[in-house]
Amino acid sequence: MEKDNYSKELEVAVRVVHMACALCIRVQERLLSTSAEHVKAKDDDSPVTVADWSVQATVSWLLSDIFGSQRVSIVAEEDTKAISGVDSEGLLEAVVNTVNESLASAPKYGLQSPEETLGTSEILSAISWCSSTGGPTGRHWILDPVDGTLGFVRGDQYAVALALIEDGQVVLGVLGCPNYPTNKEWLNYQHQISQTTSQLSPRTTDAWEKGCVLYARKGSGKAWMQPLICEDKMLEWPNYARLIQVSSIDDPALATFCEPVEKANSNHSFTAGLAYSVGLRNQPMRVHSMVKYAAIARGDAEIFMKFAKSGYKEKIWDHAAGVIIIEEAGGVVTDAGGRPLDFSRGVYLEGLDRGIIACSGVTLHEKIIGAVYASWDSSNL
C-alpha cells in the first residue's frame, strides 16, 4: 500500500471524531447534571441517548458532504424509529439542536458547516443514510456513534468509533475516548464508583482533564494518539500526535487483561477460568466499550478476551476501528480459533469461532488460544 493511500480519508475521520467527542462531552455533562431524561431503551433493553443519534447525524452529514452523498456507504448502529413518534418530540428536538450546535463548530475543526441550519427532516434523513449493510465489495464507513452507551449514561467509559472498509478489509480506524484517564488504574476505579452513583462527572479532576483520539491506517505499521484538542488548535492536529505501541510484557503473571463490564453478552466465569489456566494473576479490568482496544494499543493492558453467550452475534461497528489500531500498534486480534476477524460479510462478524482475543504480542496470544482449545469442551457456553 502506498504511503499516501487513504491519507485524506484518515485526516477527515480524525477531525470528525474529534468533533463528535466534543458533542458527546457536552451531552454527557447535561445528562449527569439533569438526570436520565433523553435516554430511551431499544428493543434489546440497551440504552440509546441524544448523543447516539446526534453523532450519527453529524458524522453522516459531514462524510456525505465531503465525499458525496451518492457514493458514501455508511454502516451504523442507530435508526430513527425511536425518535420519530409523537411521544418522542422532546427527544427529537434535543437531537436537532445538538446536531446544529455541533455542525456550527465544524470550521474550527477544518470542516465545512451547512449553509443553513438543518431542519428536522434533514437530520432524520442523515441518520437514515447510515443503513448500508456493508459487504465484500466497495467502500463502507463503519460508525458506532457512542460505543458503550451504558457507560456513557453512568459517567463512565465510552468511545466514538469510525472505520473504513474497502473490499472487505478494514483500511483505517479512528477511536475517540473522551473519558480515557491519564492513569490506567483509574479505569477500574471509575467503573467501581459509577456503580454507586450516576452523578460522577469524569471530567471534574485533573485525571480526566483530557481524553484521547487514537488512529491507524492499514499497512503503515504505526498507530497514533492525540489528546482531545480544543477547537482553536484543531487546524494543526498532526502536531499533537504521538506514536503508540503495545506493551512488551509477555509474562502472563504480569499481564493485565480486559473484559466487558456487561454480563449479558460476555461469560465472565469462562474468562476467569481461562485466565487462571494461562497464569494471569491480575484482576480483570472491566471497561465499557472499545476503550479496551485503546488500552491494549496504548500499552496499558495486554489482553482483551470476550466470549459471548450462545445466540449473541458480534457487530462489525463494535470492533473494526479497535482491531486495526491494535494491529498497527504491533498487537494481534483474532477469533478464539486464531483466525482473523472477517469484516466482509455484512453487519455481523459471521463465522466467528467462539470468541474474540486481542493481545499485545504473539506469545500471550498463542498461550490463550491453546488454553481455549484445552478448556472449551468443559465450559458451559
Within a domain: residue 341?
yes
The reply to whether 43 sits in an annotated binding site is no
The reply to whether 342 sits in an annotated binding site is no
One domain, residues 305 and 157: no
**C-alpha cell, 46:** 440497551
**C-alpha cell, 180:** 480515557
Confidence at residue 183, expressed as pLDDT on a 0 to 100 scale: 63
* Angle made by CA atoms 215, 219, 221, in degrees to the nearest 5: 65
Residue ranges of the chain with per-residue pLDDT less than 50: 1-3, 36, 196-208, 380-381
The domain that holds 331 is classified in CATH as: 3.40.190.80
Counting the structural domains of the chain, the total is 2
Q: List the catalytic residues.
A: 52, 149
Within a domain: residue 332?
yes
**Of the candidates 244, 270, 293, which is a domain's last residue?**
244
Confidence at residue 276, expressed as pLDDT on a 0 to 100 scale: 92
Alpha-carbon gap, residue 361 to 144, rounded angstroms: 27
- Per DSSP, which regions of the chain are E strands? 39-41, 47-49, 74-76, 139-147, 159-166, 169-177, 212-217, 223-227, 242-244, 257-259, 285-286, 303-306, 332-335, 356-359
The domain that holds 98 is classified in CATH as: 3.30.540.10
One domain, residues 57 and 134: yes
Confidence at residue 33, expressed as pLDDT on a 0 to 100 scale: 78
One domain, residues 240 and 257: no
One domain, residues 163 and 234: yes
Within a domain: residue 2?
no
Which strands sit side by side in the sheet containing 303-306, from one edge to the other? 285-286, 257-259, 303-306, 356-359, 332-335
One domain, residues 46 and 127: yes
Confidence at residue 196, expressed as pLDDT on a 0 to 100 scale: 47
The domain containing residue 169 runs over which residues? 7-244
Position 364, amino acid: L
Phi-psi region of 361 (alpha: psi -120 to 50; beta: other; left: phi over 0): beta
Alpha-carbon gap, residue 179 to 175, rounded angstroms: 12
**Of the candidates 244, 279, 303, which is a domain's last residue?**
244
- Other Cβ atoms closer than 10 A to 380: 9
One domain, residues 131 and 183: yes
CB-based contacts of 313, cutoff 8 Å, min separation 6 = 348, 349
One domain, residues 234 and 288: no
Instruction: Reduce the DSSP state of residue 113 to 3 states and report it.
Output: coil
The reply to whether 206 sits in an annotated binding site is no
One domain, residues 314 and 348: yes
Confidence at residue 2, expressed as pLDDT on a 0 to 100 scale: 41
One domain, residues 178 and 318: no
Closest of 180, 139, 179 to residue 163, by C-alpha = 139
Within a domain: residue 1?
no
The reply to whether 318 sits in an annotated binding site is yes
Q: Is beta strand 223-227 parallel, antiparallel or unpaired with respect to 212-217?
A: antiparallel
**Of the candidates 218, 244, 270, which is a domain's last residue?**
244
Alpha-carbon gap, residue 299 to 357, rounded angstroms: 16
Within a domain: residue 229?
yes
Within a domain: residue 355?
yes
Alpha-carbon gap, residue 292 to 280, rounded angstroms: 17
Within a domain: residue 258?
yes
String of b and e for 334-368 (b: at least 16 CB within 10 Å)? bbbebeebbbbebbebeebebbbbbbbbeebbebb
One domain, residues 139 and 280: no
Alpha-carbon gap, residue 322 to 115, rounded angstroms: 34
Can you count the helices (H) and strands (E) in the chain?
A: 10, 14
Report pLDDT digits (tens) over 163-220: 999 999 999 999 999 999 766 666 665 555 555 444 444 444 444 456 999 999 999 9
One domain, residues 54 and 169: yes
Within a domain: residue 116?
yes
One domain, residues 189 and 266: no
pTM of the predicted model as reported, rounded to 2 decimal places: 0.91
CB-based contacts of 138, cutoff 8 Å, min separation 6 = 73, 166, 167
Alpha-carbon gap, residue 237 to 226, rounded angstroms: 8
